[in-house]
Amino acid sequence: MGRTAGAGKNNDKNTVASLAKGFRILEAFSARQPELTLAEVARKAGVDNATAFRFLNTLVQTGYVERVPDAKLFRLTTKVLDLGFNAIAHSDLRTQARPILRSLVGAINEAASIGVLDGSNILYIERIQAGLARLGVDTRIGSRVPAYATAIGHAVLAWLPRAAQIAVLEGQPRPKLTATTLTDLDALLGRLVQVKKRGYAVSNQETVPGLYVLAAPILDGDGVPLAGISIAAPAIQTSLKNFEAAGAQPIMEAGRALSRALQASGGFVHQQSA
C-alpha cells in the first residue's frame, strides 16, 4: 500500500533535516574514497559547497572528521567507529549478562546491573530490579551516574592505569551525593588500590542513602576493564558486613564468568567516550 499525502507530512514533522544531511556528509566517504575535497563531499551528499563546509567544520570540531595535513582533503576519524562498535559491544554484553543478573537478584539483593565507563560517568546498559522503589532509586538502562561515587565506577577504574584514573576522576566536579560519598582525589585513588587488591568494590550508601552496593570488573584477556557488574541491597534489610560477606564471592564470580564469555565470543570492543 502506498503512502498517503498526510503520512508524508507527518513524517516531515518528526524528522530533523539537518541531522539527515549530517549523516549524508559522513556517508560520502567510503573505503574506495576515504579522502575527499569539499566539492566532492558536497556533490556526493547532494548539498551545496557552503552547506558542506558548515557540516564538515562541525564534524571536525566534534571529532568525527579531520583535515588531511598539507592537502585540501577531509577524511573520517576512528571516532566514527565508536557508534557501531558500542552498539555491537553493548548488545552482546547485555545478552550475555541477563541470565547472570537474574541469578544475582533475590531476597537480599534487589537489583543487579551492568555499567560501562562513559567519560567520567557510568552508563547503565542492563539492569534487573525487583525492588528499591521505596528508596527512591530510579536507575534504569541509559542512566548515567558519576563514576567517582559508584561501586561500578570504582570496580572499573581500579583496573585502569593511574593517569587514566585521575583523568576520569578530574573530568567533572565531585560533590557529595550523600553523607558518605568520598570526594577527595587522593582518598579515591587510595580506595582504588584497595579495590584492585580485594577484587571488588563496596559502596556504603555513597550514591543513594540507604543503599549498599558491591561491584566487580568485567575484564578482557589483557586485564583491561570492559565494564562492571553490581548488586544492590537496602541497608534496612542487612548490615554492610553481612551484605559484603554474602555477596562478595558471587559478584566476583559473575564478573569472571562474563569476562570469560566475552573473551571467548570476541563480542565486546571497549570504546570509552571522550
The predicted structure's pLDDT at residue 114: 93
What's the pLDDT score for residue 84? 60
Lowest pLDDT segment from 30-34, 54-58, 61-65, 86-90: 86-90
Write the pLDDT tens digit of every residue in 166-212: 999 999 999 999 999 999 999 999 999 999 999 999 999 999 999 99
Residue 271 in domain: no
The overall pTM is greater than 0.75: no
Tell me which of 57, 77, 97 is where a domain ends: 77
Give the pLDDT confidence score for residue 81 in this predicted structure. Answer: 65
**Confidence grade of residue 133 (pLDDT, cut at 50, 70, 90):** low
| Pure H helices in the chain | 5-13, 17-27, 38-45, 49-62, 79-104, 151-157, 162-169, 185-198, 240-265
Instruction: Please compute the mean of the pLDDT values over residues 82-94 and round it to a whole number.
Output: 60
The residue out of 51, 77, 103 marking a domain boundary is 77
pLDDT exceeds 70 at position 155: yes
Rounded to 5°, the CA angle 218-221-227 comes to 20
Are residues 148 and 167 located together in one domain of the fold?
Answer: yes
Domain span including residue 61: 5-77
3-class secondary structure, 76: strand
All cell numbers assigned to 113: 546491573
Same domain, 56 and 137: no
Indicate the number of domains in the chain.
Answer: 2
**pLDDT higher than threshold 60 for residue 88:** no
- Say yes or no: 18 and 147 in one domain: no
